[in-house]
Amino acid sequence: MTPSIPTNLLQQIASTYGTPVYVYHAEKIKQQYETLINAFSVLDIRIFYASKALTNIHIVRYLNSLGCNIDCSSINEVKLALHAGVAPENVLYTSNGISFAEIEEAVEAGVHVNIDSLSNLEKFGKKYGHSYPVGVRLRPNIMAGGNIKISTGHNKSKFGIPVEQIGELEAIVKANNIFIRTLHIHTGSEIKDADVFVKGIEVLFDLIPHFPELEVIDLGGGFKVPYIPGEKTADVASIGQKLKQAFDAHPLANNRKLQVWFEPGKFLVSECGYLVAEVNVLKQNGDTIIAGVNTGLNHLIRPMMYDAYHHITNLSNLNGTEKKYMVTGYICETDTFASDRLLPEIKEGDLLCFHNAGAYGFEMSSNYNSRYRPAEVMVKNGEAILIRKRESFDDLLKNIPA
């Protein structure tokens, strides 16, 4: 597994913008988007990029230029999408445990809205009635995903309205004359099994008769991407075919000509991203050498939060003799990126590249230990474009009164 961006360009970016630095490959994003469009061409679909994965407005703007819509998990993500030039009708806002004021702001902006609680749905109905089509997020009680922290559809999840509360939901809809256009579920992340999506859509099929104005089935996202060399990605073509078969086998769904929406985030941007860091120190630890780098959980928290694997390349010595290393960060916490990892021989000053860093990398970064967040660079048509400046000491002070 080698970076799709040439090694010399990554080294040049590190030299120009300093390390650590996030680098994103635009053409990889385009490739992933086209893969989804082709896989689901058997259905009437719309793709909404789950911008929580990587919200930089240059990434949002680029995806929008490809024809991709934008999915948002907060009102500020909605504002960022609109600021990036995305038309309101191409923005979806899926609420989760928020104040009704956020929903009101989303309606005022004219974007699509999904509501995930009976309480907010009732407030919505009392204020807007039938005048503003809306979606409801349901909890399908399906366990799926690569880690319990990213599984969102199981029966202990905080997300969505439990399907067993369909009677209460229907009563609120009727009492307030609400136009339910969309039924939405999202079962989790890192899903490679087509049957998970089929189970989800079958849950929704059973609910179709309750919503005569229904136009959209929203299946969320969560398609698996490969983190470990040789690991398989989600077979999205197979998922498309199986969903088409499910529609064809369900006359009511097929006769209604329902549109299908997906909200992939990681699938679109994970593999496009790299975090390049410099080796600060080497320490001998028994048979293992500790390589301490100038980044940490403040920039890439996934290994510590999810036990996630990120492939590592030594850009300074691609084909050197392999030795066993523990790669650790510079934060005053345990922030181990890799243990017992065979890597080409590392020297202090070498550049290490962390793969699959496009999704939930910079987006989940922080100023922990008063460290600066890194620069972000997008490579497009072979050209490196700065899309976020590295922070400085002034950024640590800018919101603090003197």
Report the alpha-carbon angle 341-346-350, nearest 5.
120
The pLDDT of residue 146 is above 80: no
What CA–CA distance (Å, rounded) separates 75 from 8? 40
The tally of domains found in the chain comes to: 2
- CATH of residue 324: 2.40.37.10
Tokens at 252, concatenated: 């009511």
Which residue type does 221 have?
G
Q: Binding residue per annotation — 306? A: yes
What CA–CA distance (Å, rounded) separates 107 from 401? 35
Tokens at 22, concatenated: 């996030």
H helix runs in 249-301, sequence order: 251-256, 266-269
pLDDT digits (tens, 9 = 90+) for 55-112: 999 999 999 999 999 999 999 999 999 999 999 999 999 988 889 999 999 999 999 9
Domain edge (last residue) among 233, 268, 303: 268
Residues 179 and 73 in one domain: yes
pLDDT digits (tens, 9 = 90+) for 293-326: 999 999 999 999 999 999 999 999 999 999 999 9
Burial of 167 (0-12, 13-18, 19+ CB in 10 A): exposed
Residues 97 and 224 in one domain: yes
Q: Please state which of the ranges 76-80, 103-107, 191-195, 335-339 shows the lowest mean pLDDT.
A: 191-195
Residues 219 and 295 in one domain: no
Residues 13 and 47 in one domain: no
The pLDDT of residue 187 is above 90: no
Confidence of residue 208 (pLDDT cuts 50, 70, 90): confident
What local confidence, expressed as pLDDT, does residue 144 receive?
Answer: 39
If one compares 160 and 5, the residue with the highest pLDDT of the two is 5
Q: How large is the average pLDDT for residues 170-199?
A: 83
Distances (CA, A) of 67 to 60, 70, 87, 353: 11, 10, 11, 31
- Are β-strands 216-218 and 134-139 bridged in parallel, bridged antiparallel, or unpaired? unpaired
Q: Binding residue per annotation — 222? A: yes
Domain edge (last residue) among 268, 302, 330: 268
- CATH of residue 43: 3.20.20.10
Rounded percentage of the chain residues whose pLDDT exceeds 70: 91
Question: Which of the residues are catalytic?
Answer: 332
Buried b (16+ CB within 10 A) or exposed e, 226-239: bbeeeeebbbbbeb
The pLDDT of residue 141 is above 90: no
Residues 288 and 236 in one domain: no
Closest CA to 146 of 196, 103, 184: 196
Which residue type does 18 have?
G
If one compares 256 and 80, the residue with the highest pLDDT of the two is 80
What CA–CA distance (Å, rounded) separates 124 from 128? 6
DSSP-based three-state secondary structure for 312: strand
- Are β-strands 69-72 and 45-50 bridged in parallel, bridged antiparallel, or unpaired? parallel
Cis check: omega of the bond before 303, within 30 degrees of 0: no
Q: Binding residue per annotation — 302? A: yes
Residues 255 and 126 in one domain: yes
What local confidence, expressed as pLDDT, does residue 142 receive?
Answer: 52
DSSP label at 389? P
Strands (E), 185-272: 216-218, 259-262
Tokens at 153, concatenated: 């559809």
Residues 290 and 191 in one domain: no
Tokens at 337, concatenated: 């990126």
Name the average pLDDT for the chain: 91
Domain edge (last residue) among 209, 244, 268: 268
The pLDDT of residue 244 is above 70: yes
Q: Please state which of the ranges 34-48, 77-91, 216-230, 374-388 shows the lowest mean pLDDT.
A: 216-230
Residues 174 and 282 in one domain: no
350 part of a folded domain: yes
What CA–CA distance (Å, rounded) separates 51 from 65? 15
Residues 14 and 77 in one domain: no
Residues 102 and 233 in one domain: yes
Half-sphere exposure of 6 (CA within 13 A, CB side): 8
What local confidence, expressed as pLDDT, does residue 232 receive?
Answer: 87
Q: How large is the average pLDDT for residues 122-130?
A: 97
What CA–CA distance (Å, rounded) separates 135 from 115? 6
What CA–CA distance (Å, rounded) separates 182 from 259? 9
Contact in structure between 141 and 159 (CB atoms under 8 Å): no
Distances (CA, A) of 173 to 88, 133, 210: 25, 12, 10
Residues 262 and 315 in one domain: no
Residues 12 and 70 in one domain: no
Which residue type does 370 have?
S
Q: Please state which of the ranges 16-30, 38-52, 199-213 shows the lowest mean pLDDT.
A: 199-213
Long-range pairs of 120-126 with CB within 8 A, sequence gap ≥ 24: 120/95, 121/161, 121/169, 121/172, 121/173, 121/178, 122/172, 122/176, 124/100, 124/176, 124/178, 125/172, 125/173, 125/175, 125/176, 125/177, 125/178, 126/176
Domain extent at residue 161: 26-268
249 part of a folded domain: yes
Confidence of residue 159 (pLDDT cuts 50, 70, 90): low
